Structure 1
Amino acid sequence: MVRSAGSVLGGGRYRLLRRWGVTADFEFWHAMDRVLDREVALTIIDGVSTQLGRSSVNEVFARTVALGQVRTAAVASVLDMVDGASFSAVVAEWIPSVSVDEASAGSTSVLGVARAVVELAAAMRGFHESGSVLAIGDSGRVRVSLDGIAYVAFPGTPASSERDSDIRGFCSVVRTLAAGVQSPDALGLMTGRDGQEVTAVAITDTLQGIVDQPLPRRIPFPHPSPMQSLRRRVTRRDRALWPRLPASQRSPWCCSARSGG
């Protein structure tokens, strides 16, 4: 069942505002919690009308608990998990943001892309090292905050999530954000580096190396002070008028310049 904007769920508590993605088993919605008067992100799971089934819905909730226990800018905070007769959903904090496609429309650089996704990569690495997954196989779950940080906007970990699907989803996000970069392969994320397998560890190390590169040293341009600029203008003018001016009207700057030269 694909819902439409304006629908009300959870006994009238959640009003759907805009759908940002849909898969065979999930819908990703920007919604309004009418009880607490706050915007939320809903990952809606239909255990009855989708392929997941009721037992798999419970497993989604169990796996999502790990996301709710992690505090990182790369994952929206999980606020609640709703299991009702008509629908089930993971309720997360709504962060003002844009979609990955919208973010890619602006001008960017390799460094800009690296800064945007480095925290997401670090979070993915942490989950993989702990034996869990970030569940970003569908890149539609990811958005970019107004601070320029890519994050999981719609948490919810299905049983089918694997590390490889995380890697593919992450690379899809990077590929989209780097669409306007002349050499997106410079990130070293699309293919293995030096024949090595692409892992969350390798991705994080690559991105961190890009972000940590020192900025090129800027050579300061010697701007003259207002007094120096005035002196130069007066000196040039007085030198031109020197033969025609009486001694009483000659600028002392010009005189000093003349006597010094």
Structure 2
Amino acid sequence: MSTKEIVINAVTAIFTNFDPDAAQQLLAENYIQHNPAVPTGAAAILGFIPALQESGLKTETHRVIAEGDLVVLHSTYHNAQAFGAETIVGFDVFRVEDGKVAEHWDNLQVPGEPNPSGHTMTDGATEVSDPDKTADNKALVTDFVETVLKGGDASNITDFISAETYIQHNPAIADGLDGLGSALAAMAENGITMVYTDTPIVVAEGNFVFTASEGTLGGAPTAFFDLFRVEDGKIVEHWDTISEIPSEMAHDNGKF
């Protein structure tokens, strides 16, 4: 099986079929967990499956991208009280080793209303294309993160983001560079700072590039998981989830 197939089969066993026997065959025993609320190890996940089934959890996966041993899923969880809310939007990142899922990171957010341009956190393009442009698109987004998000230099932002088409899925930001600028200006007026400090995970496949970053929002330790779609050498669409990093976790693995 490909890494995508291994991950999809594992996620299906856990969150759709609620089958601990099938899941056990696909999870490494020393499975490394980074979700702050879940203990590390496969046993914790397997033991949680009956409660997930009883809760009526439903999972809807919108996008799947993979590079090397990493697979990213962009999903909505319905009846997700086990995760803290009725509905949760999340990015899940899985690392596959020796044919099994060996490590997991995620970032979950309660979805807001559609943004000022009418987009939700999950609608938009889904098809992976342009496999021959993976390396170039990954380089573009990595440079954008380093220069603009981490470096704070937006003077040449149109080198990265299309000035003609920029579809935004963040609930608070409208489409286009004007929408992004207005949102950042409003944050500044309210004394809210957004700082990206480190980006330990970057996964690219064709026209999609995913980044997982650590930083602060309003001074609080925060995880920023971003998905970008690239077309003709420019970023044209963006999804994200933002979540505060708690000081105490159910393990010693950290958020990243």
TM-score (norm 2): 0.28
Structure having greater relative contact order (Cα 8 Å, sep ≥ 6): 2
TM-score, normalised on structure 1?
Answer: 0.27
More helix by share: 1
| Rg (Cα) greater in structure | 1
